[in-house]
Structure 1
Amino acid sequence: MKTLTTLLADLVGLDSINPDLVPDGAGEAPIARYVSDWAGAQGLEAHWVEPVDGRPSVVVVARGSGGGRSLMLNGHLDTVGVAGMTDPFSARIEHGQLFGRGAYDMKGGLAACLWVAAQAKQLSLRGDVIVACVADEEAASLGMQAVLEHWHADAAIVTEPTGLDVCVAHKGFVWVEVKVQGRAAHGSRPDLGVDAIAKAGPVLMGVEALDRHLRAGPGHPLLGTGSVHLSLIRGGQEMSSYPDSCFVGLERRTVPGETPESAEAEVEALLNEARQRDPAFRASHRVTLVRSAFEVPPETEVVRLVRRYAGQITGAERRVYGETFWMDAAFLGAAGIPTVVFGAGGGGAHATEEWADLTSVQQCADVLLAVAGEFCA
């Protein structure tokens, strides 16, 4: 079997840029074929999950003898783009660091998961070790959602990079588009025109006030408060016309306990206040994307196992924390699978120089293997 470092280098050497982010990105098919072939060479099962043509995920299984609990390890195949990078797929190694797109986010974790599956096959476990190598995490998470339609487990570990600390919560988000209505007219006819961009002013001010209110609240013990910000605005056709509409995009970041429904109600309340102040104000809104916040109790068994073995293997007690950005852990948790986030270290996620710390990747794999050895015994 290839060493863990060689496996990681092979994965980084494959272009798996998400084509929903970069139109000419290679997508997940080449790396999925590699993973499937590698799994077959190790005597592991490899199951192809492809809800959208050309966007496959692969589920690798180290099948147990039966009667034991199953553990799902998760890593995503896709990466962001490589604009501005030099040799993004070279996987060069310097001073214990492996450089290249995806090395840190998150092919280091993916390589650790696959290595553990191969090692677990030698442990005569009763339970299955399942590695969900999923597509599209960097965009719409089509892969994770499709995998969960067919696969379940008794616990899961998402190997997004955590620097070998233990993540038990992360924020979610709700995207909302507000359409403010005006009336088109020639710029010389203010008696006929209604300026939709000007009418959007109360929306802009209302979002700013809502954000101040949210951030002054008590917040979540690990994640702090929710927030809201204005992301996009567009309106008008040319300088000499009154704009008939103005679209405002906002993002509401949520913490556990805040729901998509409560976030949408805040926007509706904001619009209602504008209507009360100005009877001529016309606006509607729609939710375009929802990703829920995630939280797992620290006393959950899989969390305790990861903390214990991570402390033993690294020689230091590991921090338990909450992360600001969203992850596929939310989908696993919503599916009723106790889930924790634990991965290796490095740096440069989405940056022009990205790297994985090879010692950390090996320690991550060792922890995962120890957890699987106890949980699936």
Structure 2
Amino acid sequence: MPFQIVKQALPGLRRAPLVDLSPALSRIEAEEVIDLALALGNIDSPTGAEGAAAEYVFDWLTEQGLSPRRHALVADRFSVSAAIEGRGGGYGLILNGHLDTTLRPDAVWSAKDPLDRLYRGAWLEDDLIVGDGVVNDKGPVAACLVAAKAIHQSGIELPGDIIVTAVAGEIGREPVDEFEGTDYLSKDLGTRFMVTHGVVADFALVAEGTGFGIVWAEPGMSIFKVTVFSDGPRYYTPYLPDRGALADAPNAIVRAAAVIAAFEDWASGYQTRFREDRAGGRIVPKASVNAIRSGYPYEPTSAPQVASFYVDTYLPPAANPIDVREELRAVLRTAGVNGRVDLIVYRPGFEAVGVDRLVDTISRHHRARFGQDPAVVGPEVSSMWRDTNAFIELGIPAVSYAPRAASHASRKAIRAQDLVDAAHVYAAVAIDIASQRREPWAPLGSHLNALSDRADLTAGNSGTRVTQVTPA
């Protein structure tokens, strides 16, 4: 499990100075965590319409005496941050979660009932908070917010900064075909935009459901458009020739069925070939056909000559999406169908380096709260793209750690007590990290050049840095 790996790699990892956590932890009230999770969960904020939820968080932070900032690539789709500034000399930590939810109310071609209360609201049911938006991700966001409030109002003075964030655009939505513009942006205007516009710390804890396991390796993602062409005329239905093999049909929709069958065989082998066991999590990169279009429903009298389907494909860290494109082209050849493959989205995946201090700190406070080591996560938890990748890409060591119901895939609910426990762990981890001494000019731990540039930066701080220039 993650803690055991870190303990073996870093047997002498320095513990934090003794800090009294009780002034902050005693201010965390279960009722406040639950009420805030319900309040956020009952604000409908699908990706593309996060504004109302962000306004609520901004106002809530203001009421608690913090000074929130807006980070907006698009005015009505902003992220929120609030910093508890340290006196200097300590590590900084970002607590991060997202406000957008998975399903738009008009998504009639994605869900049987997109207006189902499960997608649009939140409610208490025995010891559970039910609601897709609370599970992903407003419940953990509420835990982060209450943890930050407790630290701020406790008056604890720390060397490092603690920054709480609630972001837009974590859930995948991408411009494609005629669906262009900022309404279709997601990951480019959320966490990544926020970091590049001033929200930077030494570490980030992404509060996304892991079942209280710690994950710091996640795949990249790529989306491909596979277009199938018919070689025949655009037959009016009465003139269709006799049926033959699917791949030879004059109808591009029927030909696409042959290609999708070949794709399914390929996808099964792909996730087996590229399964990886890493210190930060097991990655099983899966691929799925999740959208298809061809013809016009108001004119279904002729066989279409064109059909496209859209493939969501996860990538092992460091994989080149061009190699996947080549394999998808081979799928077309295997099916014996004329077509083309276009890469329309690429986002790299990473395994964080320089994250050991954060993993150790979370592990210690998890054990203090639960009396056992962090959970061992299943590959489905560490095989998805999260904002952890955005932080790591920009050099900030990041992990995912948050509660998650065992029934997450089918039952969108979370134990209320789990959110309360999460708030306690988040507060303890933030205080602990921010109390640990940070070496001046220590590079961002996950930056590509962190190891090679560390000595140069330290030397530069002492006024003795020398830059080597190779003659032409």
Same fold (TM over 0.5): yes
Residue 270 of structure 2 aligns with an amino acid whose one-letter code is L
Q: How much has 1:79 moved relative to structure 2?
A: 2.4
Is the Cα contact below 8 Å between 1:16 and 1:78 reproduced in 2? no
- Name which of 49, 53, 58 aligns with 2:80: 58
Aligned partner of 1:246 in structure 2 is: 307
2:164 is aligned, of 111, 131, 141, to 131
Larger % of strand: which? 1
2:43 is the alignment partner of 1:16? yes
Matched, 1:184 2:229: no
TM-score by length of 2: 0.68
State the Cα RMSD in Å: 3.2
Equivalences for 1:76-115 in 2 at 5 Å? 76-81=98-103, 83-85=115-117, 89=121, 91-92=123-124, 94-95=126-127, 97-100=128-131, 102-115=133-146
Paired residues, what number?
A: 364
For 2:32 and 2:349, the matched residues in 1 are separated by: 35
Indicate how the Cα distance of structure 1 residues 306 and 83 shifts in structure 2: closer, same or farther if over 3 A, else same.
same
Separation (CA, whole Å) in 1 of partners of 2:131 and 2:253: 44
- 2: CA distance, partners of 1:336 / 1:28: 27
> Which of 23, 26, 29 is the matching residue for 1:3?
29
Q: Judging changes above 3 Å, is the alpha-carbon distance between structure 1 residues 242 and 62 closer, same or farther for their aligned structure 2 residues? A: same
**Structural mapping, 1:198-347, within 5 Å:** 198-200=254-256, 203-217=259-273, 219-221=275-277, 222-236=281-295, 241-271=302-332, 273=333, 282-296=338-352, 300-321=356-377, 322=379, 323=381, 324-346=383-405
Offset at residue 116 of structure 1 (A):
2.2
1:126-153 Cα distance to aligned partner (Å, 9 max, x none): 1111112001323423322321221221
Distance in 2 between residues matched to 1:208 and 1:349, nearest whole Å: 25
Q: Does 84-93 or 3-12 show the bigger shift?
A: 84-93
The 8 Å contact of residues 80 and 350 in structure 1, kept in 2 or not, is answered as no
Q: Deviations over 1:181-212 (max 9, x none)?
A: 2353334376xx95434554663343133224
1:24 is matched with none
Cα displacement (A) at 1:214: 1.8
Name the stretch that deviates more: 260-269 or 326-335.
260-269
Partner Cα separation in structure 1 for residue 405 and residue 289 of structure 2: 31
The residue number in structure 1 matching 2:208 is: 160
Note the alpha carbon deviations across 1:260-279, whole angstroms, 9 max, x for none. Answer: 232223223434x35xx96x
Q: Cα distance, 1:215 vs. partner?
A: 3.9
- For residues 262-321 of structure 1, the C-alpha deviation after alignment (integer angstroms, 9 at most, x for no partner) is 2223223434x35xx96xx54222223334334335962111211121112210111243
Contact 1:184 1:241 in 2 (8 A): no
**TM-score normalised per structure 1:** 0.83
1:369 is matched with which residue?
A: 427
Cα pair distance change 1:226/1:36, threshold 3 Å: closer
Instruction: State the alpha-carbon separation in 1 of the partners of residues 46 and 138 from structure 2.
Output: 18
Partner Cα distance (1:91, 1:246) in 2: 42
Classify 1:270/1:8 alpha carbon distance in 2 versus 1 (closer, same or farther; 3 Å). Answer: same
CA distance in 2, matches of 1:12, 1:202: 46
User: Shift in Å at residue 115 of structure 1?
Assistant: 1.9
Measured after TM superposition, the shift of residue 46 of structure 1 is: 0.3
Aligned position for 1:117: 148
2:224–2:341 Cα contact (<8 Å) kept: yes
- Give the whole-Å Cα distance in 1 for the aligned partners of 2:123 and 2:260: 45
Q: How many Å separate the matches in 1 of 2:255 and 2:212?
A: 50
1:308-345 CA distances to partner (integer Å, 9 max, x unpaired)? Answer: 21112210111243513322111111111111111124
CA shift in 2, pair 1:212/1:147, >3 Å: same
- CA 1:284/1:31 → structure 2, altered by over 3 Å: closer, same or farther? same
Unaligned segments of structure 2, at least 5 residues: 1-26, 104-113, 173-185, 242-248, 436-472
Question: By how many angstroms is 1:11 displaced?
Answer: 4.2
Alpha-carbon deviations, 1:98-134, whole Å to 9, x = none? 4445333222211221122223332201111111200
Match of 1:67 in 2: 89
Instruction: Rate the CA distance shift 1:234–1:344 in 2: closer, same or farther, 3 A.
Output: closer
Amino acid in the other structure paired with 2:200: H
Distance 1:19 1:116, change over 3 A: closer
* Residue equivalent to 2:245: none
In structure 1, what is the Cα distance between the partners aligned to 2:226 and 2:37?
Answer: 42
Distance 1:74 1:83, change over 3 A: same
Q: CA deviation digits over 1:58-107, x for unaligned, max 9?
A: 11111112232210110112224573337964644734x44445333222
